[in-house]
Amino acid sequence: MINKLFAAATILVLATVFVPYVHASGTLTSISDTLSRLKISTTANHTITFTTPTGIANGNTVTLTFPSSSFTMGASLTGVTIADNGGADNAVTSASYATNVLTITASASSVVTAGHTATIKIPSAQITNPGIAATYIITIGGTFGDTGSFAAVILSDDQIPVTASVDPTITMTVDNTTLALGTLSSSAIATTSENNIVVGTNGAHGYTIAVKDAGNGASPGLYSSGASKLVASATATLAAGTEGYGANCNKTSGSGSCSFADGSTNNVTGLTLAGGTFASYASTPSGNDTFRIRVKAAIASNTPAGSYADTLTVIGTANF
């Protein structure tokens, strides 16, 4: 009798040992929630992704259960979408929140195929982060049949201040080549080659370029100390045989504009000892602006012989 009982017990034990283990189905994988902000008490967008073995059908619900006294939101959320496997973001039928549970109801266009990755987007900063920095566990469920959970970390502050300063600047170059008029004749108007002036600044009100004239020290013009003669500078249209002297301007690149007469004509702007505005711009230029200055002169038949000279001083001012 004892042997029979022992044999029966042995058979029972062997039967129990060889029952196969059945793995649970409907478990979500690759779950994540990307928040647009992690700071406490700050509203954020949520992008939740997971791979669903069962899929999400039309009319199925997906629920997100938040810990009590944590995330807060309104009773109805708008603009919520579901995408299937990285496809289009399709609007859901509804998204409502009550007692820590957000219930999202899938529409016919927001279904997800079994085995695919679902992406749920909750836009427009409709969910407010908890007021305490911590890690919060959120569970996923609903009538679509699968379950899972994920963690979201909330920080006291999620932003790193970056500071920098930019000093006010102005850069300027002048070719510093001689503006040679050559030998003057009463039968022609003499014109020099151009001298480039390049200016750049971060001034909010741009820049001003001025040109001062030396003349004879008392009056502007082209002066011969040996002949004690000044060909006076004045704004005019030069004519051969009539004394005159001045400068003109061309812009070759940039945003500014010339104040002096156009260099493609025989018009000149009179130079002054104090310095007149040659070119300017009233806003921050997009880059460097380049201008060309040149001078023109005309003499009369009785203009005394001699060596004539003048010195122009270029002044650049940034306007901040």
More confident residue, 159 or 263: 159
What CATH number corresponds to the domain at position 117?
Answer: 2.60.40.740
Q: Which residue has the higher pLDDT, 23 or 79?
A: 79
Let me know whether 46 and 129 are in one domain: yes
The mean pLDDT of 240-246, rounded to a whole number, is: 98
Question: Are 149 and 175 in a shared domain?
Answer: no
Domain stop point among 125, 154, 183:
154
pLDDT surpasses 80 at 112: yes
Q: Quick one: pLDDT at residue 25?
A: 52
1 compared with 263, residue with greater pLDDT: 263
Domain match, 214 and 298 both: yes
Last residue of a domain, one of 96, 126, 154: 154
For residue 181, what are the contacts with CB-CB under 8 A and spacing of at least 6?
190, 191, 192, 222, 295, 297, 308
More confident residue, 117 or 11: 117
303 shares its domain with 230: yes
The answer to whether residue 4 sits within a structural domain is no
Element (H, E) at 32: strand 29-35
User: Residue 260 belongs to what domain range?
Assistant: 170-318
For the chain, the domain total comes to: 2
pLDDT for the residue 176: 78
Percentage of the residues of the chain whose pLDDT score is greater than 70 = 92
Residue 160 lies inside a defined structural domain of this protein: no
- Tell whether the model's pLDDT for residue 71 goes beyond 90: yes
pLDDT of 135 over the 60 cut: yes
Please name which of 97, 93, 105 lies closest in space to residue 71, comparing C-alpha atoms: 97
One domain for residues 309 and 200 = yes
132 and 88, same domain (yes or no): yes
For range 258-268, the mean pLDDT = 95
Q: Give the predicted TM-score (pTM) of the model.
A: 0.65
Residue 253 banded pLDDT, cuts 50, 70, 90: very high
pLDDT of 177: 84
* Cβ-proximal residues to 310 (8 Å cutoff; 6+ apart), any chain: 213, 214, 215, 221, 222, 223, 245, 271, 295
Domain co-membership, 136 together with 185: no
Pair 243, 177: CB distance under 8 Å: no
pLDDT at position 8: 38
Min mean pLDDT across 65-74, 94-103, 173-182, 297-306 is at 173-182
Nearest to 83 by CA among 59, 115, 48, 53: 48
Asked if 118 and 182 sit in the same domain, the reply is no
> 4-62: per-residue pLDDT in tens?
433 333 333 322 333 333 334 599 999 999 999 999 999 999 999 999 999 999 999 99
The whole-chain average pLDDT of the chain stands at 92
Mean pLDDT score, 213-236:
98
Tens-place pLDDT, residues 172-213: 999 978 999 999 999 999 999 999 999 999 999 999 999 999
Q: How many residues does the chain have?
A: 320
